[in-house]
Chain A
């Protein structure tokens, strides 16, 4: 079974530029998550989709971040304009109910963003 795919793996941009990340979840997984992991910290949820609808975007800085999941499969996360503090690893995860109330999140390798 293929895992969660993300691209690009690395991105370097200057502040005020825009950037987009792409995620392809595990086939059949209805729920998709975007996390931000700043160096030395644990991942923090930015946005969560159930199929193509948003379940939780309470920690997404909506003035500069946007995300979409068209057709309930792939997703893109965009930052416009980027700030220095956006330098982080952006992790995508997906999950699907597997019986009971437990639902494991499977993570992609992440996109490392450096804003100069």
Chain B
């Protein structure tokens, strides 16, 4: 069975500072990996995805993530955060064999401080 661990439940960071949100997964097979963002009282929006190919993937709003198979990690980074990045961030994994449900981590609350 697949699982996702987001190591930090809350990450406060000052505006314009860099941030890294950590995600580790466990799976006995190859995986697809995703980061979603949830702004307050809204649905989930796809930030970026890793399906295959280059291990460094770039997403929307200046975010990027690196797939590290040996460390089973998919950490999310942004070099300079804005107040508007304050949100809940979810890492998710799925089986690439078909359209299977996503298995989510418990989320990381990013709070950007002015």
A and B form one complex: no
